[in-house]
Amino acid sequence: MKVLVFGSLNIDHVYQVPHFLRPGETLPSAAYSRNAGGKGLNQAIALAKAGMDTAFAGAIGQDGLFLRQLLADSGVDTTRLQVLDKPTGHAIIQVEEAGGGNAILLYGGANRCIDREMAAASLAGLCPGDWVLLQNEISCGREILLLAKEQGLRVALNPSPASPELAAWPLEAVDLLLLNEVEGCDLTGSTQPRAILEGLRKRCPHTAVVLTLGAEGAYWQAAHGTCHHQPAIPVTAVDTTAAGDTFTGYFLTAWLRSGDAAHALRAAAHAAALAVTRPGAGASIPKAEEVAAFMQQHSEGCTAADQ
Ligand code: ADP
């Protein structure tokens, strides 16, 4: 079994500024960095680091070849990644020197050039029982979901970022939905975790759900079944970027391998906790050995505390 991530790749250009640009203003920036981003890329790296057989489908331009290399170096099969005559998706991110707040200008670029033909070609060669993992940062997402289901594939969806178009997606066809509170609220109109889960159970009763709640942990709701809460692992967070992406990659890997949602939630919570103790996105995603060692260390700590 393999997981195909059909998603976005971005170049994040990060500028440090004394204040956000005002209309008509030219502002020097004291520091600049170029980082790899995109939910598709982060989730593919998380899956591969967790040990899953992972492939990637999506699109970049010539300026994004280093993103393909990054995926390949992480063990992801990039043969379905297309290089188009378009700019790679990118973000211009201003970070305020005092306070660290940010303002982001996003250009979808090649991520928004995916069409039905490319989607069908990228799904070719997958077998029933393989999984497709989707987010909401590329064009044609709804069509990819439908094509994948027609082909007998299983679909996991992270409906992020929340957008009005998601209302038209056939959520009832999704096998596993992984979302945070904001996205849950957007899909159900409810703000409380239990009410979000209940709303999703009504809307898509055959879909298993993972609802993440930041430092409040995460809920699992089986299709037609039981609910289970996993507390977050207490750590000192320095940067929560990619917490959800790390959680997604580790949950999916452990759940597909073991079929045990409680175990998969535990592994994902430990992986995401490690990720929030480190700066950055892809670079903050831990390796499977680090997660295993952290779980061991934490369970020994809990056992000692229980005695
Ligand atoms: P997203 O990044 O998609 O918004 P969340 O913020 O809900 O996702 O975080 C996903 C998971 O990451 C949480 O369920 C939790 O396990 C872990 N996590 C997030 N923030 C923290 C934190 N401050 N401390 C420990 N774990 C965290």
CB of 237 shorter than 6 A to ligand 1: yes
Alpha carbons 193 and 230: distance in angstroms, whole number: 13
pLDDT confidence bin for 306, thresholds 50/70/90: low
pLDDT confidence bin for 24, thresholds 50/70/90: very high
Give the DSSP letter string of 137-182. Answer: SSTTHHHHHHHHHHTT-EEEE---S--GGGGGS-GGG-SEEEEEHH
Token pair of 9 as six digits: 């790749």
pLDDT tens readout for residues 75-133? 999 999 999 999 999 999 999 988 778 899 999 999 999 999 999 999 999 999 999 99
CA 125 to each of CA 56, 149, 156, 191: distance values in angstroms, whole numbers, following the listed order: 13, 14, 18, 41
Going by their DSSP bridges, the two strands 218-221 and 208-212 should be labelled as: antiparallel
pLDDT tens readout for residues 146-177? 999 999 999 999 999 999 999 899 999 999 99
- For ligand 1, the distance from its centroid to the CA atom of residue 79, given in whole angstroms, is 31
CB of 247 shorter than 6 A to ligand 1: yes
Mean pLDDT in residue range 4-22: 96
CB of 276 shorter than 6 A to ligand 1: yes
- For ligand 1, the distance from its centroid to the CA atom of residue 217, given in whole angstroms, is 7
Tell me, what's the pLDDT at 224? 80
CB of 217 shorter than 6 A to ligand 1: yes
Q: Considering Cα of 67, then 73, then 77, then 83, what sign does the dihedral take?
A: positive
pLDDT tens readout for residues 264-273? 999 999 999 9
Q: Give yes or no for a contact between 115 and 95, defined as CB atoms under 8 angstroms apart.
A: no
Nearest CA to ligand 1 atom 25: 273
Nearest CA to ligand 1 atom 2: 244
CB of 215 shorter than 6 A to ligand 1: yes
- For ligand 1, the distance from its centroid to the CA atom of residue 243, given in whole angstroms, is 5
Helix (H, G, I), strand (E, B) or coil at 219: strand
Alpha carbons 286 and 273: distance in angstroms, whole number: 10
| pTM of the complete model | 0.95
- For ligand 1, the distance from its centroid to the CA atom of residue 88, given in whole angstroms, is 28
pLDDT confidence bin for 282, thresholds 50/70/90: confident
For the CA of 268, the nearest atom of ligand 1 = 16
